[in-house]
Amino acid sequence: MRFYKILAIVALLFGCAQLAQGQERFGGLSGVVTDSSQAAVPGATITITNKQSGAVRTAVSGADGSYSVPDIPPGRYMVVIELSGFQKVSNDDVLVLLGRTFTVNAQLTVGNVSEVVNVTAAEKQIDLKDVTLAHNVTAEEFDRLPKTRSFQDIALTSPGVNQGIIEGGFQVNGASGAENSFTVDGVSTTSLLYGSSRQNTVFEYLQEVQVKTGGIDAQYGGALGGVISAVTKSGGNTFHGEGHYYYFGSALSAGPVPRLVLSPLDDTTVIHTQDDKQRNHTSEPGASIGGPIMKDRLFFYGSYSPQIVRRTNNYSFSSGTDPGSIDQKQTVTQAFGKVTYSANRVQANASILATPTRSTGYLPLYSGNAAQFITTSRAANAVNIDRGFSQDQYNASGDLNIWLGKTNYITMRGGFFYDNYGDTGIPRITSVTWINPSLPSGTCPQCASLPASLQQPLGFLNTPQAQITNADTTKTGLFQIDYNHGFSAAGSHLLKGGFGVRHTVNDVNLDYPGGFVRINWFATFTSLVPGVGSGTGTYGYYEVNDRGTKGVVNANMPSMYIQDAWTIGNRVTLNLGVRTERETIPSFRPNIQETAFTFGYGAKLAPRLGASVDILGDGRLKAFGSWGRYYDWVKYELARGSFGGDV
């Protein structure tokens, strides 16, 4: 009865979140306990203690001497193996990595249990059963790496990963930047629209970053490239904290590189211009703290690290006739909180990550033919003083692990990612831009007939052209339930299966106020429509473009998978799995077409096969390979452009 009450509470907690694909947050340990004659030792107790939090997990070796403890949070652990009549074996420093199951074997020697054999030089840890190509970077390592302040850039330390503008972000083994999956604490932070990462985290509260680049098993979907996962830190039995301050900006940086510009007079002559270094200061103070709420049971961890940007660009408006400046103020907040509960049969985590951004002041690019020159006037750029944006991003996640027996347990995960962008401070004035110059010259003698106020260089405008995003909100609700069961049948098996649903929403409203106008002075318009021909007005012709993107859509994606790690003997492991899902792409014009299109379960059947062999039988060398079928998730940008979103 008590178990069903727990399930009811969990269902209530996660009821507001829709189900989703399983995402990894843990590692594991396994091994075989033998005696001095290499015979299996059943009934030995394996105690695994987190060296930071003090959380304890236990297991008992089976009839064949083997044990397995999955779903262990990444970190460093002390492993003690003991049985009455034998000396205790203790390994004081065992590293658990995200998505890895390392082997910790023990050979017990007859003696008093009070006698302890300390393992001080552990063998190189190799996950002998896994076929996934993955690169793990722990907090100990990335604290020492030269890096940016973005956890995603850790992916570049992995083989097969590069980055470029043409690729659209991170490219993993030839896949495009839109074909990766990004998660923070198991919640997908991948853009519904473009497939890029949408939420950053600072390193101070990260425990580990993992990049999977191949052999990804059946519980993962939506990635043809890589799976980039970040796992956060947890509190422990002792209070730990840190404080930090980072600065980068013009006080430490070099000057800008020279820029090449076209002459605004003839749009042909190339000019080489060197601008002055401008004021640019970025400061990032912050602190983190974690500790116990209830010793050995309940812990907390919190971190706060705002990034404060202050910039000033000096300008010579109207091509050098009117000096002035524009300021930019930007604050990017990083706030994180986590609560962890740990008992032997129940483990739970709940966390929230808030990364809102506020920015005021827009700095247009220099466009004139001398240092800091800009062709537009001070009045035309007055709108940029208050122009900015707000971006709210919130990530809430929770997981619950309940051990039903010694070899089987159930895991429930849920989360919610909210992402909204909106422009601020932009007046709704229609923008008018000069597509060619209207200054009197040898190439345009008729320009002398224009009023002086209309005699302007190429690129002149009354107010900057801006597509105003009133709101562009995406929401992803996640929930996944998994069952794991270890058993013996012609070898040992670790069977897991799960079901989930991913619920997504996009609510968008963006447009140009009154459209935007482009004036082609004394130019001839030629239509691409057969039979229309060409023509010109007294002063040339103009174009009006009035477009935007509007609508609200949502969709559910149920999925299911089953995966078995079957170890035959002690040296061969087969990984056999299959995944399927039902993906619906919504239509922004349901009155015309209810949905854009749907991929059924049969269309997205994705088998995964792999094998791993312990070559020497001593856990030091393995050969492995994998084959699988993978499907991407269709980005909502397709639905916007082709099914009624763009109007």
Give the pLDDT confidence score for residue 113 in this predicted structure. Answer: 56
Alpha-carbon Rg for the chain in angstroms: 30
Average pLDDT score over residue span 107-115: 71
Average pLDDT score over residue span 385-394: 95
Alpha-carbon distance 224 to 180, whole Å?
Answer: 6
Alpha-carbon distance 552 to 543, whole Å?
Answer: 30
Alpha-carbon distance 554 to 507, whole Å?
Answer: 9
CA distances to 375, 442, 524, 543 from 446, in Å: 21, 9, 14, 21
CA distances to 241, 298, 319, 382, 546 from 236, in Å: 11, 8, 61, 53, 57
**Hey, what's the torsion of the CAs at 431, 435, 439, 440, to 10 degrees?**
-140
Give the pLDDT confidence score for residue 5 in this predicted structure. Answer: 42
CA distances to 467, 513, 529 from 547, in Å: 9, 9, 21
Output phi, psi for 8, to 5 deg: -65, -40
Alpha-carbon distance 523 to 542, whole Å?
Answer: 9
**Are β-strands 259-262 and 181-184 bridged in parallel, bridged antiparallel, or unpaired?**
unpaired
Give the pLDDT confidence score for residue 23 in this predicted structure. Answer: 52
Average pLDDT score over residue span 484-491: 87
Alpha-carbon distance 230 to 210, whole Å?
Answer: 7
CA distances to 63, 420, 501, 593, 622 from 639, in Å: 56, 18, 20, 12, 45
Digit-coded pLDDT (tens) for 419-460 = 999 999 988 889 999 999 999 988 899 999 999 999 999 889
Alpha-carbon distance 348 to 397, whole Å?
Answer: 11
**Burial status of residue 144 (CB atoms within 10 A of its CB: 0-12, 13-18, 19 or more):** exposed
CA distances to 128, 571, 572, 620, 647 from 615, in Å: 10, 7, 9, 8, 61
* Local confidence band at 508 (pLDDT 50, 70, 90 cut-offs): very high
Give the pLDDT confidence score for residue 477 in this predicted structure. Answer: 94
Beta bridge partners of 531: none
- pLDDT of 15 > 70? The answer is no
- pLDDT of 174 > 90? The answer is no
CA distances to 88, 263, 410, 494, 641 from 193, in Å: 56, 38, 33, 36, 11
- pLDDT of 2 > 50? The answer is no
Give me the DSSP letters along 504-537: EEEEEEEE-TT-EEEEEET--EE-SSTTT-EE--
User: CA 40, 42, 46: angle at the middle one, nearest 5?
Assistant: 110
Digit-coded pLDDT (tens) for 215-233 = 888 988 888 888 888 888 8
Give the pLDDT confidence score for residue 123 in this predicted structure. Answer: 53
* Local confidence band at 63 (pLDDT 50, 70, 90 cut-offs): confident
Q: Which stretch of 106-120, 246-260, 499-513 has the lowest confidence by average pLDDT?
A: 106-120
Digit-coded pLDDT (tens) for 543-597 = 999 889 999 999 999 999 999 999 898 789 999 999 999 999 999 999 999 899 9
Give the pLDDT confidence score for residue 415 in this predicted structure. Answer: 93
**Hey, what's the torsion of the CAs at 277, 333, 506, 24, to 10 degrees?**
110
- Mean pLDDT for the chain overall: 86
* Local confidence band at 249 (pLDDT 50, 70, 90 cut-offs): very high
Average pLDDT score over residue span 514-536: 91
Alpha-carbon distance 184 to 188, whole Å?
Answer: 7
- pLDDT of 114 > 60? The answer is no
Q: State whether residue 152 is helix, strand or coil.
A: helix
Average pLDDT score over residue span 516-529: 92
CA distances to 192, 216, 402, 410 from 346, in Å: 34, 28, 5, 10
Helix ranges (H only) for 131-285 are: 139-142
